[in-house]
Structure 1
Amino acid sequence: MPIVRTIWVQTFPDERTRDGCFEWMSGRFDRWNAWGDIAYRASAVALTQHLFSLLLFDMVEERNKAGGERPATTGKADEASASVLSIEYREQ
């Protein structure tokens, strides 16, 4: 019987930011098991650092493809409306 437990949670300032992160992660669905292993075996902090480095790399790549333009900022965050994204680890 599979057991599910939440091993990583990230809050976001708004739904747009959360949905953007989820969209980015959905494009890398084949890596989710490896990411779950990082969080389960190392720590949630290790997964956050790993994902952060991947996101930064992708941002630099996109900027280079676009001719060096900087991405637009979203403005100030409203902490009262924070959205959550989580990864669960399934033991089989």
Structure 2
Amino acid sequence: MQYDDDMKRRLRRVEGQVRGVLKMMEEQQNCKDVVSQLSAVRSAVDKTMALIVAVNLEHCIVEEREKGGDTSKLVQEAVELLLKSR
């Protein structure tokens, strides 16, 4: 699978958010603020995972259709992968 620039950009943004959370902790900032930022990090990671799975699923479905195969198993695997990641 090819990971495009958008996916990498998303993770670089998450990396910056995590550094920000660590700085907040070092500065002894409010627990609610730290947790709020951690929630934003989790959300960004979840969205990135969903994007990766969706792009990969699309690619796999095209390949499977070209071979004349059944794509329902691919969809089920993608859903299970997303559910497992939660």
TM-score normalised by structure 1 residue count: 0.37
Higher Cα radius of gyration: 2
Higher helix share: 2
Higher strand share: 1
| Structure with more contact order per residue of length (Cα contacts < 8 Å, sep ≥ 6) | 1
